[in-house]
Amino acid sequence: MPQRPLSGVRVLDLTNVLAGPYCSYQLMLLGAEVVKIELPGQGDLARHLGPEAELNRTGIGASFLAQNAGKKSVEIDLKDAADRADFEDMVRGADVLLENFRAGVLARLGFGWPRLRELNPRLVYCAISGFGQTGPMSQAPAYDQIIQGLSGMMSITGTPDTAPLRIGFPVCDTVGGLTAALHICAALAGRDRTGEGTFLDVSMLESAVSAMGWAISNYLVSGVPPEPMGTQNATAAPSGTFAAADGPLNIAANRQQQFETLCALIDRRDLLDDPRFIDREQRKQHRDELTAELEHALRRRTAREWEQLLSTAGVPAARVTTVPQTVELDQLDHRGFFTELPFPDGSARAFKAVGSGVLHDGEPLRPTGPPPLLGEQNPERRALTSRWNDRDAITP
């Protein structure tokens, strides 16, 4: 593979658990050298999270393995004078400093933006927090579920009978991490022109509201609040989940031509002349009746059979899979999405790390190695700091 886009970029990663580590994982895949700064003897809380108690006990929990491959780990206590001096040296040689403490914590430790900029005027400092560094909620603690609730996301997830529901994975942490990674890359590009660093104040709440797109904008424009619709799509019909012979099937016939093709393939051309289904707006108003008619026909075949038939004809359709089924999809294997890595403890066991979802010149970006043990690079700390402060040195 050609040189990765962020090759030579040095990232000091003070983050824990999810939003921050997910951000720095994306930067690592893009070629950055990421050094996790972890509290001595404790490390990232994610080291102790996951479904296997033994892995949690040894500090390599599944939650940690998920997004820390290819990084390095150095133990530093920012309340210790010697460690603070070493940290300052690392800041001088870094390109990016990333943290997700509660707002103001790093400043209270003596490393607010004015001090960081004094140490390194070219530094891109990114602080991820639940609500941002300013405002009446800036000091409130926040986890993903808190943000899901406050963003309005939970209120439109589920059905009228089941909402509000939490989305089944930490989507706000993930979106916050992606938002941070995007703006870090933009700040680095801007620095190439100006020579000056940037302070990025990332709010998970604002990132989540931004990601909700149509749900927020439609309300701001129309004044009509969105409602939970289960598996259905508010903008079109038929667009949602339908029962096939053996299980659920997603169909998104959002265009008139797709609806016409769908009706032909299920042998229900008569639906095209039904005034209830004559166009998009009528179909939305008679969504339940349309669903009943379609499911009567769809029960004649399996979800996989319909997926192949409809997709081939240009109607977006696919079965609903479980996580174990998803990771076995031939499409992901073809694209090289997963990378098998050894466990950091040297055991014979291996695990698979996820990719970025982007091919660069036809190739996936893969982790450069397994996640680090806590403090694995402690013996290299001085050498690493020296290399970072020698801008001509090559990152190994």
> Is residue 125 in some structural domain?
yes
Q: Catalytic: 173? A: yes
Kindly report the average pLDDT of the chain as a whole number. Answer: 95
Tell me what pLDDT residue 394 has: 59
Residues 160 and 33 in one domain: yes
Asked which of 93-102, 117-126, 314-323, 385-394 is least confident by mean pLDDT, the reply is 385-394
% residues pLDDT > 70 (the chain): 98
Q: Tell me how far apart the alpha carbons of residues 372 and 349 are, in angstroms, rounded to a whole number.
A: 15
Whether 46 and 193 share a structural domain: yes
Tokens describing residue 262:
């769908």
Residues 31 and 74 both lie in one domain: yes
- Can you tell me the mean pLDDT for 142-147? 96
What is the reported pLDDT for 40?
A: 96
Q: Which domain holds residue 365?
A: 10-212+336-388
- Rounded CA-CA distance 385/375 in Å is 15
**Rounded mean pLDDT of 2-10?**
91
Name the domain boundary from 267, 287, 320. Answer: 320
pLDDT of residue 3: 85
383 in the same domain as 255: no
Residues 333-344 have pLDDT tens digits of 999 999 999 999
Query: Both ends of the chain: CA-CA distance in Å?
Result: 16
Q: What is the pLDDT of residue 259?
A: 97
Answer whether residue 393 shows pLDDT above 80: no
What is the pTM (predicted TM-score) of this model? 0.94
144-149 long-range CB contacts below 8 Å, 24 or more apart?
Answer: 144/18, 144/170, 144/171, 144/172, 144/173, 144/204, 147/172, 147/173, 147/176, 147/204, 147/205, 147/208, 148/172, 148/208
> Considering the chain, what percentage of its residues have pLDDT values greater than 90?
95
Is 348 a residue whose pLDDT tops 90? Answer: no
Whether 265 and 309 share a structural domain:
yes
**What's the rounded mean pLDDT across residues 22-49?**
97
pLDDT at 392 over 70: no
DSSP tag of 87: H
**Which pLDDT band, with edges at 50, 70 and 90, does 390 fall under?**
confident
Indicate whether 162 pLDDT > 80. yes
Give the pLDDT confidence of 300-347 residue by residue, as tens digits: 999 999 999 999 999 999 999 999 999 999 999 999 999 999 999 988
* pLDDT per residue as tens digits for the range 282-301: 999 999 999 999 999 999 99
Q: Answer yes or no: is 357 within a domain.
A: yes
Q: Are residues 187 and 96 in the same domain?
A: yes
pLDDT at 188: 98
CATH code of the domain in which 248 resides: 3.30.1540.10
Q: Determine how β-strand 317-319 pairs with β-strand 248-252.
A: antiparallel
pLDDT tops 80 at residue 111: yes
- Return the CATH number at 117: 3.40.50.10540
- For residues 142 and 244, state if they share a domain: no
The CA-atom distances, in angstroms, between 76 and each of 59, 85, 87, 380 are: 17, 10, 7, 13
**pLDDT tens-place string over residues 203-251:** 999 999 999 988 999 999 999 999 999 999 999 999 999 999 999 999 9
Nearest C-alpha neighbor of 98 from the set 211, 180, 159, 212: 180
Structural domains counted in the chain: 2
Kindly name the residue from 13, 44, 144, 173 that is annotated as catalytic.
Answer: 173
